[in-house]
Every structure is written in C-alpha cells, then in structure tokens.
Amino acid sequence: MPLPSEKEEVWRYTPIDALDLDAYAPAVLGPAAPAAGPLAEAFVAGLASDLPVRAAMVTTLDGAVRSVDRGRLDDRVVVGAVSAASEGALGQVLTGGDALVRLNDAFHPDAVVVDVPAGVVVEDPIVVVHWCGAAPETGAVAPASFPRTVVRLGRGASAGVVEVVAGMPEGRGLVVPVVELRAGEGARLSYVGLQVLGPSAWHIARMAAASDRDATLRTFTVGLGGAYDRSRTDAVAAGPGATTELRSAYLGTGEQVHDVRTLQDHAAPHTTSDLLCKGAVAGSSRSVYSGLIRVRRGAVRTEAFQTNNNLVLDPNAHADSVPNLDIEENDVRCSHASTVGPVDEDQRYYLESRGVPPERAEQLIVLGFFDDIVQRSPVPASVGRLQREVGIRLTEALHVGDGSHG
C-alpha cells in the first residue's frame, strides 16, 4: 500500500509528501526497553496531580503498557493491555484505513483497551498517557511510535477517558496513534485527547468512533504540539437516535501545521451530530480544517451541524477551512459555518473602551476564544489542565510577558 500523498483530497494542504519513513524506526520495546526517563516520569506525575480524582491510569512508553493503576475502578471494567487472544477487539470500528493505519496495525506494541460492560457507570475519568520517543535500535534514525487504543462501552454504560500523547521534547519523531471508540446502545462515552508532543515531532492520528442506538458520544481533541499535527476523526451514528458531539481545538505557533479532518457519518435515522472546531494560528503556522457531513440514504430526520472558527493572529499565519456536505436524504436539517480572520475589532474595542490595554485585550479575547470550548470539555475534570496547556502556548504566541502585566 503506498503512502498517502498530497494529491489525495484528504491530504490536501498537508506536508505529507515530505514524510520519509526510512528516517524513522519503531522504538526498542520489550525487556530491552530503556527506562521511561525523568522527563516522562515528571510528566506523568504532573498529569496525575492535575487529575487527582480518577478511576484508573494507564501509562505507556511508545504504546507499550508500562503501568496500570486501577485505583478505584469497578472490578467489571477491563483496563490495560489487550491480550493477543482478544486482539479481535481491534478494527471493529475502524475499517479500511490507509498505509499509516496499516503501520500501526503492524507495529503497535500493545493495544490499550478500556472495556466497560453493560450497565456499568464509571464516574471518574480513566486516564491514558502515551509517552513517546524511546530511542530506536539504530541511533541514526528518529523514533517512531504507534499507540493504539480501544474504548468500548456496553449497553447503558457510561465512562470518560482522557488520553494524552506527549514526549519527543526535542529532535524529530513520528507518532501514529489509532483510536477506536464504540458507544453501545444508550451508552454515554466521553473522550478527551490531548497532544502535547515536542516541536519537531510529526503526529498523524486517526480516530474512528461509532455510536449505537440512543448512545451519546462526545469527543474533544486538542492539538498543541508537533511540527505537523494531524487528527482525523470519523464518527458514525450507527444506531437510531444516536447523538455525537465532536469538538476540537488547535493552536499553531512558529512553523507548526495543524490539520483536522472530520467526518460526521449518519447511517441511521433520527441521529444528531454537532461539531465545533476552533483554532488559532500565530507566527508562520498554518492550519487546515476539512469536515464532511454525510447523510446516508435512510438516515431521515438527521440533524447535523458543523462550525469551524479560526483566528489568524499574525500576517504570516494562514488557515484554510473546507466544509463539505454529502446528503442523500431529504428530510434532514444540516448546516455548516466557518470563519477565518483576525481578532474581532469590535471585541477588542469593547475591552479597550473599558480601559484594557490592547495586548492584554487581544490575549483575553484569544484565551476566551479557547476557554469557550475548553470549559465545555466532555470530561469536566480535564478543564484545568487543558486551560493551562493552552494558556502557556498562547503566552508564547502573543509575545506577552513584556512585564507590563502579570
């Protein structure tokens, strides 16, 4: 199978043609694997203290499960590395897939599985952390990492997962995560994905989600790190009455490229999907959002909404927004809206007319732009950490810290 190419529509506007797989090799794992290192330990400890109330925590090194802390988790819930025997759990939601998914199929060391049986309600979040970037065998190439995650909720179950991809603080690296989410009949699945890799890493993520009859599936993916950060989310409303809420946010600084692709796939009647994607680009960074709403024949009474808002903070930054509709039914309500532009002049004037200096006004508005979406994270316990991650990068992006304001 050939590597993806920018000529394909789903890879348009991306630097994918520059991907040279020979420059990477999977990390050395298994018994010979190196210790995770102090950076990884500090990161995990920090995350643990930011999410003090949690049901369980799984840590991996490049996708190989290192620890599973079941904390206060219900015995009936399976959390941890999936055994070879139940590898059948993979590929149930994500069918097809490109060469990169195949690479993940071949190279993921473990699959982290979260299996919540019918009727079980997990109140507190389950945290999954992938620290990436252990050195490959030959030092001449950069590390490649293939985390794999499956979250499955049985009928009427409820759970929230916070998954974090971090590491590769310096130097090049490639991370290709694949995540599958399935919300069974009437289940409530909430998922937050946070990517905070180092500035030279490439992150090419694929997520597939499916919700059965009357299920509610809510996802929020936040892309902050990496040189090239791509997340593609395909969410299918598979059963009647299913509700999908997709949220994503990205912030570009320096020369970063953020690339968000979404598919709201309505395959059953009376289904609802609501997508909100907010991004800001500063410096010479770039972003592309491309989203498709597909309503299949028979999916009557579908309601599907898609909104993409982009703030362009510097003259050399650029954002593309490409919404698409593919509707095969008549009795549906669908809409999409997108905006690309600088900070709103009226908003800035309003704050300035109260006496707020212009740089501070801009910072407040951009922080508020993100806060508006972060505050509504499907896993409320993640809000504080997300706010901090966004805040730190915004401070860099907006060149604040001139000393005039704390």
Partner 1 sequence: MTDGHLLEVENLHATAGGGEVVRGVDLTVRSGEVHVIMGPNGSGKSTLAHALMGRPGTTVTEGSVRLDGVELVGLPAWRRARAGLFLALQQPIEVPGVLLDATMAEALAPLGAGPPDRGALSDRLRQEAAAIGFDERFLSRALNVDLSGGERKRNEVLQLGVLRPPFCVLDEIDSGLDVDAVRAVARRIESATGEWGLGVVAVTHFHRLLRELRADHVHVLVAGKVVASGGPELAEELEHTGYAAYASPT
Q: Which residues bind partner 1 (CB under 8 A)?
A: 345-347, 349-358, 360-361, 364-365, 367-372, 375, 403-406
Shortest Cβ distance from residue 260 to partner 1 (Å)? 20
Kindly tell me which of 352 and 396 has the beta carbon lying closer to partner 1: 352
Secondary structure (3-state) at 230 = strand
CA-CA distance, 248 to 378, in Å (whole number)? 11
Kindly tell me which of 96 and 406 has the beta carbon lying closer to partner 1: 406
Shortest Cβ distance from residue 365 to partner 1 (Å)? 6
Kindly tell me which of 153 and 361 has the beta carbon lying closer to partner 1: 361
Q: Collect all residues with Cβ–Cβ distance below 8 Å to 149 and sequence separation of at least 6.
A: 111, 112, 113, 114, 128, 163, 177, 178, 179, 180
Separation of CA 154 from chain center: 23
Kindly tell me which of 75 and 346 has the beta carbon lying closer to partner 1: 346
Shortest Cβ distance from residue 367 to partner 1 (Å)? 7
Kindly tell me which of 126 and 361 has the beta carbon lying closer to partner 1: 361
Q: What is the DSSP letter of 141?
A: S
Secondary structure (3-state) at 403 = coil
Residue 168 and residue 143 in contact, taking contact as beta carbons nearer than 8 Å: yes
Shortest Cβ distance from residue 217 to partner 1 (Å)? 25
Shortest Cβ distance from residue 363 to partner 1 (Å)? 10
Shortest Cβ distance from residue 310 to partner 1 (Å)? 14
CA torsion 396→399→402→405, rounded to 10°?
-70
Kindly tell me which of 3 and 364 has the beta carbon lying closer to partner 1: 364
CA-CA distance, 63 to 311, in Å (whole number)? 34
140: region left, alpha or beta (phi > 0 left; psi from -120 to 50 alpha): alpha
Kindly tell me which of 139 and 403 has the beta carbon lying closer to partner 1: 403
Kindly tell me which of 87 and 372 has the beta carbon lying closer to partner 1: 372
Kindly tell me which of 399 and 405 has the beta carbon lying closer to partner 1: 405
CA-CA distance, 209 to 53, in Å (whole number)? 26
Shortest Cβ distance from residue 394 to partner 1 (Å)? 12
Q: Six-digit token pair at 259? A: 């690339």
Shortest Cβ distance from residue 312 to partner 1 (Å)? 17
Q: Collect all residues with Cβ–Cβ distance below 8 Å to 42 and sequence separation of at least 6.
A: none
First to last CA, the chain: 53
Helix residue spans in 287-344 (DSSP H):
none
Kindly tell me which of 96 and 355 has the beta carbon lying closer to partner 1: 355
CA-CA distance, 382 to 72, in Å (whole number)? 18
Q: Six-digit token pair at 78? A: 């399976």
Residue 164 and residue 192 in contact, taking contact as beta carbons nearer than 8 Å: no
Q: At what angle do helices 383-397 and 358-374 cross, to 10 degrees?
A: 150
Shortest Cβ distance from residue 366 to partner 1 (Å)? 9
Q: Collect all residues with Cβ–Cβ distance below 8 Å to 222 and sequence separation of at least 6.
A: 192, 193, 194, 195, 248, 249, 250, 374, 386, 389, 390
Shortest Cβ distance from residue 262 to partner 1 (Å)? 21
